[in-house]
Chain A
Amino acid sequence: MNHVETIHGFIVENFLFGDGGQLTNETSFLDSGIIDSTGILELITFLEETYNITIADDELTPENLDSLNNVAKFIKQKIPCAE
């Protein structure tokens, strides 16, 4: 399973109650209301636990975390050899 699929599964399960119909790889989590500030917290915790990484303060940006593509790209940067 690639990063996008893994994260897609998490978002759909935890924030969309199993219904991922509206979620594309480019959908902005915040603009679409899929995730609020507390939800971002859960997403970060999930990423840290799943990929065994630490996300620093200066990495907590929409460019890294606000869509499936952005998150996948960010994870790839953090752990280049993982896919």
Chain B
Amino acid sequence: MCGIAGICNLSGPGRISLNSIKHMVSVQKHRGPDETGIYIDDHIALGQARLSIIDLSSGAQPIHNEDKTLWIIYNGEVFNYPELRDSLIKNGHRFYTTSDTEVILHLFEDKGPACLNELNGQFAFAVWNAVTKELFLARDRIGIRPLHYTVQNNRFIFASEIKSIFTLPDIERRLDPIAMDQIFTFWTTLKGRTAFKDINELPPGCFAKISNGKVSIKKYWDIPFYSPDEQTDSGIDDIVQDISDLLHDAIRIRLRADVPVGCYLSGGLDSSGLTAKVVGDFNSDVKSFGIRFEEDAFDEGDYQNLMASHLNVDHKEITATNRRIGEAFPDVIRHCEKPILRTAPTPLFLLSKLVNESGLKVVLTGEGADEFFGGYNIFRETKVRRFWARQPDSQSRPKLLEQLYPYIFTNPRLKQSLQAFFARGLENTDNPFFSHMIRWANTSKIKNFFSEDLKEQIGSYSGRDELREMLPASFGKWDYFSRAQYLEASLFLSNYLLSSQGDRMAMAHSLEIRLPYLDPRIM
């Protein structure tokens, strides 16, 4: 795992400062503490800070093809690289490293953007064609690895993290009012936008081409929807077996590393299942790591210890005390690079520190299972509210919400208010955003605290209207569960969980997370 950065002249050749690219790389040292590398000519500067995990000795970047016409900098892992490498060798390619980076480069050389369909992994990379003077950037399907860019002063500037772009003195640091409106509605910006004005994110599942001074962005993958006709007719036993086989293989290829791989173990179903499969199928000596809380209501330590003892794994834990959360919070925000609505990233920041101090660079995590297997309460809540909407005057139907959220229905005096809360928008079951409208309306109340100036800059902007334009064309015809699942995965998972609670918190302590449930074959 690494940090990448680049500066590309859009109006022909011109000197690019070596110090600029060095600085862009050095502020991302937490992403890649092991070594750095730079390529520079009169069109482009590419820099990379490397966390060495595969090919420790010869994988230094940038990496070039046989005739040095293509150069790549790369942040990530492609887990099926040995299979891709074998087929590339058969096609005549010669390799000078054993890294996955070089595999991507040769595959790109052969297939262009279509190479992305063959990569099973988590990545953000840039390839420079020194002959055609074209730059190609791409990001993994669901957005596990970050990639940001800006086009300013006839330059295309990009980096894993925004703070790298901000090292350039002529790049202005301004908050984007529209981004503030989006974050305080959806918990995150909509695809492509960041909290900062004119700093963009290459959206998940997209690639960018920079050619003849023009930037074009294309989507190569989206969260799939399968209509009832396309869904499997297999029985439950076959489905369980298929998923189990897929998960086995997703874990197998994610254990490929030249360093030990650990597991996050929260005590919940997803991480417990993952750790159990690692122990049972691959490595009984795996180390696991968990977070404890000093407040009993949040603490899942008993479940962690039960699972760790059942699997007989070496389990380490960190207690995220309120004091520790408070102390670490400013660092957390610096790494998130966006406003966040809860402190939840902070315990993960503390956990990655523990893993780092334990000498590990890679862990598997259970993120993604709830989105793709429908585990979140918001999916059931939608179902209950639709049921209730058929008889809005019913006193019995909303009681299902009490079963769903027993922890917020503890006070009988609040029961009426809570029911009224969930009754909002009950008449809008046909609205494509029905599943998430309550959450968004609730979050939007924070905007009452915006300054008058900020409110004025936002004006009549509607994030919902913009989001509606971004949805797949057939979205309105999807079943309600698929719609809720798409919104949850494309907004909350891609843009918040995988970033603020994922890559950023892990890389803050030079830790790579790998997510078997987000293997494209499972998604």
Contacts A17-B235, A18-B235, A45-B390 hold; do A37 and B400 have CB atoms under 8 A apart? yes
Partner of B387, one of A17, A45, A56, A57: A45
Is A38 in contact with B384, judged by CB distance below 8 angstroms?
yes
* Majority DSSP secondary structure for residues of B touching A: helix
Please encode chain A, from 45 to 61, with 1 for each CB lying within 8 Å of some chain B CB and 0 for all others. Answer: 10010000011110010
**Is B474's beta carbon under 8 Å from chain A?**
no
- How long is the Cα–Cα vector from A38 to B386 in the complex, in angstroms? 12
**Is B403's beta carbon under 8 Å from chain A?**
yes
Partner of B391, one of A17, A38, A42, A54: A54
Please, which residue of chain B has its CB at the minimum distance from the CB of A49?
Answer: B390
Looking at the assembled complex, report how far the CB atom of B383 sits from the nearest CB atom of chain A, in whole angstroms. 7
Please, which residue of chain B has its CB at the minimum distance from the CB of A55?
Answer: B391
**Is A30's beta carbon under 8 Å from chain B?**
no
Q: Which residues of B contact A17 (CB under 8 A)?
A: 235-236
Please encode chain B, from 388 to 431, with 1 for each CB lying within 8 Å of some chain A CB and 0 for all others. Answer: 00110011110010010000000000000000000000000000
Is B387 in contact with A37, judged by CB distance below 8 angstroms?
no
**Is B380's beta carbon under 8 Å from chain A?**
yes
Partner of B380, one of A18, A38, A45, A60: A38
- How long is the Cα–Cα vector from A37 to B236 in the complex, in angstroms? 21
Q: Give the interface residue-count category, chain A.
A: 10 to 19
Contacts A57-B394, A57-B395, A60-B396 hold; do A38 and B235 have CB atoms under 8 A apart? no
Please encode chain B, from 317 to 357, with 1 for each CB lying within 8 Å of some chain A CB and 0 for all others. Answer: 00000000000000000000000000000000000000000
Q: Which residues of B contact A48 (CB under 8 A)?
A: 390
Residue in A37, A42, A48 with the greatest tally of chain B CB atoms within 10 Å: A37
Looking at the assembled complex, report how far the CB atom of A2 sits from the nearest CB atom of chain B, in whole angstroms. 25
Q: Which residues of B contact A60 (CB under 8 A)?
A: 396
Contacts A38-B380, A57-B394, A57-B396 hold; do A44 and B235 have CB atoms under 8 A apart? no
- How long is the Cα–Cα vector from A60 to B399 in the complex, in angstroms? 12
**Is A82's beta carbon under 8 Å from chain B?**
no
**Is A19's beta carbon under 8 Å from chain B?**
yes
Is A37 in contact with B396, judged by CB distance below 8 angstroms?
no
Residue in A17, A18, A54 with the greatest tally of chain B CB atoms within 10 Å: A17
Could you list 24 examples of A-B contacts with CB < 8 Å? A17-B235, A17-B236, A18-B235, A18-B236, A19-B236, A37-B400, A37-B403, A38-B380, A38-B383, A38-B384, A38-B400, A41-B383, A41-B397, A44-B387, A45-B386, A45-B390, A48-B390, A54-B391, A55-B391, A56-B391, A56-B394, A57-B394, A57-B396, A60-B396
